[in-house]
Amino acid sequence: MTDAHVTNARASEIYRNALDVIAGIEPRIADATRQELDDQRASLKLIASENYASLPVLMTMGTWMSDKYAEGTVGHRFYAGCQNVDTVEQVAAEHARELFGAPYAYVQPHSGIDANLVAYWAILAQRIEGPGLEKLGAKNVNELTEADWETLRAELGNQRLLGMSLDAGGHLTHGFRPNISGKMFYQRQYGTDPASGLLDYDQVAAAAREFKPLIMVAGYSAYPRRVNFAKMREIADEVGATLMVDMAHFAGLVAGKVFTGDENPVPFAHVTTTTTHKSLRGPRGGVVLAQEEFASSVDRGCPMVLGGPLSHVMAAKAVALAEARQPAFGAYAQQVADNAKAFADGLMRRGAKLVTDGTDNHLVLLDVSSFGLTGRQAESALLDAGVVTNRNSVPADPNGAWYTSGIRFGTPALTSRGFTADNFDVVADLVVNVLKNTEPGTTKAGAPSKASYSLAEGIADRTKSAAAEMLDAHPLYPGLEL
């Protein structure tokens, strides 16, 4: 028995006992938790924003660190008795700084959206502490009158943000109107080249020169290529914008040194945000990295934007970030990228149409309109066959953001289970076979439906059976038995 199996055997006893305790209060929660493990073990998880955290990371979240209020930051709390939370936050921030080579790290955000809100308001705060105060003849905010605040509120509420459009691969927090970011700012979006689907830096620069944003956001959630962040910084500097990079999706590829040089955003961005639960394999949460000039503003994320930090999650972030600093993580990150390329190549060889005709990061965006399907129909049919994905817009999507024309795939989770490039070629075959055997349905009135579908008889069972051989060879949490 390997050391990992010994560890997981010990974990089995811990989790069985924990679930028995939970079942004594609310058995439905214990049952759902057991079922979730069974479901994840039996499915091909291809959601680009999901992964599998290690057992040490998962266990770290289930402690009494959850019981402590710790508003404020290290050494400056609004509650007494926070010395152990200070240790947790310091260790997590230390690992984040060292892992990414960042001057400053803030590990309190509860999610990626929270991290982006902290970043936005930290950048806006600079206008109060810098030029805004100067213009009003005040040394600090305590000297401001209500009339001064009215002036500042008008200024803060009329700033401009330039971000990547949702259908081109940007995130809803990059200025999408229904999101708070689209309501906080005058916003404009840049897209991709209509023919290639690739970023056109000349077009981004032209948009920045014309719009003159305070904040220029780079990064993506569904763009299957790398970004030259040196060029993005050049554009931001030319127009006097603050460059903010959201690397929530690809932070693991930065941490694992797959993205280096101009493709590593941290040296070029004024502020960088990320989640910890995607390609980093950590708990659900966010982190803000910043250059020194923004550190003091970011450090006031609580109470500026956030409430009390989740101390147990910060502790789990520290464990996950420590894991990502190990040499094995670099090999994992490279395998994520290799697997994505193999998966994309396998899909295209079988006739599938991919946005940008491939990938060089961790995700693949498939245009399912060539199968006569909407993204919602494809997502549902694949789920029936045990393939877990999510529908996603493609550039100039005729079906909008709800039904969509695309499916977004990602390789981090199955790579965590040990899948190789050969395995992903088989997965590509399974995916294409399901889509080829799915027919769009009709509404009750007989019109074409964007949601209903029919999957050919036997396809779901055959797909699950074919997948089971690979899943059994690469078990999730081996040795963990509940």
Convert the pLDDT of each residue in 130-146 to its tens digit: 676 777 777 677 777 88
The span from the CA of 110 to the CA of 114, in Å, is 6
Look at residue 1 in the predicted model and tell me its pLDDT.
29
Asked if pLDDT for residue 2 goes beyond 70, the answer is no
Q: Is 275 labeled as catalytic in the residue annotation?
A: yes
pLDDT, tens digit, 9 for 90 and up, residues 98-132: 999 999 999 999 999 999 999 999 998 887 676 76
From the candidates 275, 356, 389, 404, give the one annotated as an active-site residue: 275
Cis peptide before 303 (omega within 30 of 0): yes
Residue by residue, what is the 3-state secondary structure of 230-290? HHHHHHHHHHCCEEEEECCCCHHHHHCCCCCHHHCCCCCCCEEEEECCCCCCCCCCEEEEE
Q: Do domains 66-324 and 328-473 have the same CATH topology?
A: no
Q: Is 69 labeled as catalytic in the residue annotation?
A: yes
From the candidates 69, 193, 353, 429, give the one annotated as an active-site residue: 69
Helix boundaries (H) for 300-420: 301-304, 311-324, 327-349, 375-384, 400-403, 412-416
CA distances in angstroms from 136 to 121, 150, 297, listed in the order given = 20, 12, 20
- Which CATH number describes the domain made up of 66-324? 3.40.640.10
CA distances in angstroms from 389 to 100, 122, 386, 477, listed in the order given = 29, 34, 10, 21
Average pLDDT, stretch 467-482?
A: 93
310: tokens are: 């989740």
Look at residue 223 in the predicted model and tell me its pLDDT.
97
The DSSP string of 20-63 is HHHHHH-HHHHHHHHHHHHHHHTSEE--TT-----HHHHHHHSS
Asked if pLDDT for residue 11 goes beyond 70, the answer is yes
- Which CATH number describes the domain made up of 328-473? 3.90.1150.10
From the candidates 114, 148, 246, 323, give the one annotated as an active-site residue: 246
pLDDT, tens digit, 9 for 90 and up, residues 157-196: 778 999 999 888 898 888 887 888 878 888 999 999 999 9
pLDDT, tens digit, 9 for 90 and up, residues 307-331: 999 999 999 999 999 999 999 999 9
Q: Are 220 and 253 in contact (CB under 8 A)?
A: no
Q: Is residue 445 helix, strand or coil? A: coil
φ/ψ (deg, to 5) at 417 = -85, -5
Q: Is 284 labeled as catalytic in the residue annotation?
A: yes
Nearest to 386 by CA among 468, 451, 475, 441: 468
Q: Domain locations in the chain?
A: 66-324, 328-473
From the candidates 41, 50, 71, 350, give the one annotated as an active-site residue: 71
One-letter amino acid identity for 444?
Answer: K
CB atoms inside a 10 Å sphere around CB 472:
10
Look at residue 7 in the predicted model and tell me its pLDDT.
65
CA distances in angstroms from 90 to 7, 57, 299, listed in the order given = 27, 17, 13
pLDDT, tens digit, 9 for 90 and up, residues 351-394: 999 999 999 999 999 999 999 999 999 999 999 999 999 999 99
Q: Is 139 labeled as catalytic in the residue annotation?
A: no
Residue by residue, what is the 3-state secondary structure of 321-344? HHHHCCHHHHHHHHHHHHHHHHHH
From the candidates 278, 391, 408, 450, give the one annotated as an active-site residue: 278
Helix boundaries (H) for 101-200: 112-127, 133-136, 146-156, 180-184
Nearest to 264 by CA among 277, 245, 279: 245
Q: Is residue 83 helix, strand or coil? A: helix
From the candidates 284, 353, 436, 462, give the one annotated as an active-site residue: 284
Average pLDDT, stretch 35-52?
A: 97
